[in-house]
Each structure stands twice: as C-alpha cells, then as structure tokens.
Amino acid sequence: MIIENSLPVLLSRLDFAWITTMHILWTPMTIGMSWLLFALEIAWLKTGDERWYKLNRFFEKIFIINFGAGVATGVTMEMAFGILYGPFSQAVGPFFGNILGFETITAFMYEAGFIGLMVFGWGKVSKGMHAFATFNVGLSSTLSAMWILVANSWMQSPNGVVLKNGLFQVTNWWNAILNENFTWGFPHMWVATVELALFVFAAVSSWFILKNRNADLFTKLLKPTLLALLIVTPIQIYIGDSVGKDVADTQPTSLAAMEGHYHTYLPDGSPNTSWNLIAIPNAQNDGNVFAIGIPHVLSLLETHTWNGVVKGLDQFPAKDRPDVWVPFYAFRVMVAIGFFLFFVALWGNWLRLRGQFNAQALRKHPWFLRSVVFSGFLPYLAIWCGWWTREIGRQPWVVYNLMRTYQGVSHMSVGQEIFWFAGYIVFELVVWSGAWYFFSRVIAKGVDDIAPSDTLFHHTEEDESHAGGGHARPSFAKPVLERNR
C-alpha cells in the first residue's frame, strides 16, 4: 500500500519533475524556431537576398541539434509514464491513449516526414517545395504541442469523463479535449515558444555583433526580431493574465498557492485583497510567517474589482492544499521575466527609432547587447517556472479532484526509485551536455562556411520573374552553365 506522503511518492514526483524539466528545454524551441525558419525562407524567396538564406541555414543547424535532443528526452518521458506512474497510465488509458495516438498520427509522423525534406532537401527539390516542407514542420510541431497540452490541460480540468471501475471513461470527447484549462493554456504555451525562439535569435545575433563577427548580417536579423518581440511580449503578458483568471475559476487551490493567499477574509470580516510581493509560509501550511502585501491588488488582478473576494487556502481541507513555496516564487519569477523581456524589446526599438541600429552604433551600446544575450536564457527559465507552477499547483492531485498523486504512482521500493532516478539524471545530463557541445561548435563556425544558394539551385529565364521558382540540382553536383545562355 502506498502512503500519500511517503518517500516513494516523493521520489516518483521528483524523478518525473526532473524528466519533464529537462525535456521542456528542447520542445518549445523546436516549435518556435520552425516558424522563424519558415519566415527566413520566405524572406529569401521574396527578396532574393542571400543574407536571409545564410541566416536560415545557420539557425537550421541549431534547430536540428535541438530537435534531436527533444526526441531523445521525449522517448524517455514516455517510458517514465509507465515506469513511475503505472496505475495512472492504466486509469487514463481510455483518454490518453487516444490523445497521444492522435499526436503520433497527425503530428509526430507528419513532422518526421517533412523534417527530413527540410533538412536534406536543399538542392534536391524546388525552392517552393522546400519552403512548403518547412511550413509543414512548423504546423506539425504546433499540432504536437496542441495534443500534449490537451492531455495536460485535461489533468488540470478533467471534463467529459467519469471514473468507473478504475478507468477514466470518456462521456463527451468535445468537452474533454476543449476543457477550460486548454482554452488559455495552449495559446500561452505556443506564444512562449515563439517568444523563446525570437529571443534566441536576438541573443545569438547580439553575441555576433559584440564579437564583431558578421556584424552587419546579424544586425539585419536583429531589427525585425526585436520588432516582432515588441508585439509578442505584451501579447504573452495579456494571455498570462487570462490564464491566471482561468486558474482562479477552475483550480482555486492552485491560484491561492501561487499568491500565498491563505486567508479569504481579514479578522474584521472584510475580504483579504492583498497581493503578496514576498511571503514566507509556515511549516503547517496554514499561514505566512512573514509577508509584504499590497492591498487591493489581488482583487484587481483576479476579479477586476476593488474589494473582490478571492478564495484562500483556508477554504479547503489541509490535505487538499498544495505546497506554496514553489508555485509562489516560480510564478513571480515568471512574471518578472515577462516584464523584463518586454522592457528589452522596448529598449531595442527605442534605439532603432533613434537611428542607432547599425552594427557600428550598436557596439557603442554594449550593455544593450549584453542584456539581449542574457535575455536569450530567460525564456527558458520562464517556461520552467510556468511548468513548475502548473504541475505543483495541482498537487496533491495527479488528475485534479479525481485521482490523488499517491494513487497514480507505481508500487516500487525506495531502492528501485533511486535506481531509476539516478539513471534518468545521467541520461538527461548526457543529452544536455552533447547538445550544448554541438551548439558551441555551430556558433564558433558561424556563417562563413555556408555555401551560396546558387551552388544548389539555378533559375531558368522564365523563373527569374518570381521568387520560389527554379530547378534543383543535387547538392553533390557542380553547377553547369547551359550553352544556350
């Protein structure tokens, strides 16, 4: 028999937290960067500017490494479901089995075919067909994220099912798939992938400008990237606020933990409207030892009223309350990063408006460039913090209000748990180290070794009038001039 707060349950949670934390390093980048690669390719086809082609081929190398690491860690995570959470996997089979099957058929297999064409199709298919393949990599990776968010969002707001004979049997597929948490959870995650990829583009570009390596080329990329971020960053802040209001409605214990909000009412009977900037929860998880609160802000954020009532943890049994430490501080780190990234986007576009956006002028603003390089790592931390808030805020439920975490873990000894935990730690660190080794090699080489596009493609006279045309020659063949030219 598994006890709710036993060491095996804790080890299962820590092990799976490690696995998902390492996996989510890679998948958002794959999704966001696939769309940016498509944008670079379209810019090249429309303008004929070779610089867009070189930038595309350079970042494609980073994409390939990232994709490989994501596949490796994703397979590991699939294994971990059965190993660490066998009873849960069996219980959710009627729903998860179909959802993950849809993901495999409509997204993963779809992506696998087109990613081969995208990576190995240069010079073997037409420019238009190659762009079509890149577009489908972006679309399929987005579909993959959608199905995964459907599954995880259902765990947060499990609609359209009944728990019968130990199995979650689906009564309404529409309600189960389009559950309340998915409505804002998926857009929040998808925009995060685009924001991440944009900041990685910006960070790499700023690094090259600082080092004065191909500075003009990467300045050309930095301009539209920062302009796009000026649009994306406030959109993400707005969506994040909408997610918070949704969590307040569907998962009030999680919202209360995120805000360190223990007491619904003050001693005088009035609503507790304070938003805690800093809080130190007590050991009993029934109040704060110390807190710095700002009156009325919590009500304004969650109810959009001055004295609106926001449920505190005191409205729920102690056994149903999540731990507060991680959701409270992870949520604040995520929000702080979101606003800082918006500030960086404003800073860059302000420099652009002042005419300071050429390579020589930018190097006179080294702190801006360093800030952008630093910002390349912040979206990763924000995604981590968001995921930790989401998963730990749901506790002690693995399926909110229907299955507790201890009911879903596999019946393993402490020794077995430690064995799997150690194995997963080693594997994930090997993947992480290998990926960063190859990332560093790609960045060290830069764009100088990328062959011109005309070594792969040539145009007929009729195709000169429009972008995307032309015939492909095998990349191993030397370009040949036709005699009639």
Decide: residue 316, CB within 10 A, 0-12 exposed, 13-18 middle, 19+ buried.
middle
Strand partners, 292: 278
Q: What is the pTM of this model?
A: 0.91
CA–CA separation, 246 and 237 (whole Å): 14
Which residue, 285, 242, 270, is CA-closest to 392?
A: 285
* Residue ranges of the chain whose pLDDT lies below 70: 1, 458-485
What is the model's pLDDT at position 472? Answer: 44
Interval 104-147: pLDDT, tens: 888 888 888 899 999 999 989 999 999 999 999 999 999 999 99
> What are the distances in angstroms from CA 415 to CA 7, 76, 78, 231?
11, 20, 22, 50
Are 56 and 36 spatial neighbours (Cβ–Cβ below 8 Å)?
no
> What are the distances in angstroms from CA 135 to CA 159, 188, 194, 468?
33, 21, 15, 14
Instruction: Using the structure block, give the residue that is written with the tokens 């994220």.
Output: 145
CA–CA separation, 160 and 152 (whole Å): 14
What is the model's pLDDT at position 336? Answer: 97
What is the model's pLDDT at position 458? Answer: 60
What is the model's pLDDT at position 462? Answer: 44
Strands 403-404, 471-472: parallel, antiparallel or unpaired by DSSP?
unpaired
Backbone angles phi, psi at 399, to 5 degrees: -120, 115
Sign (positive or negative) of CA dihedral 67, 201, 367, 216? positive
Interval 226-252: pLDDT, tens: 999 999 999 999 999 999 889 999 999
Strands 167-170, 161-164: parallel, antiparallel or unpaired by DSSP?
antiparallel
What is the model's pLDDT at position 478? Answer: 44
Task: Return the H-helix or E-strand segment holding 277.
Answer: strand 275-281
CA–CA separation, 88 and 410 (whole Å): 8
What is the model's pLDDT at position 303? Answer: 86
What is the model's pLDDT at position 444? Answer: 92
What is the model's pLDDT at position 1? Answer: 56
Task: Return the H-helix or E-strand segment holding 14.
Answer: helix 7-23
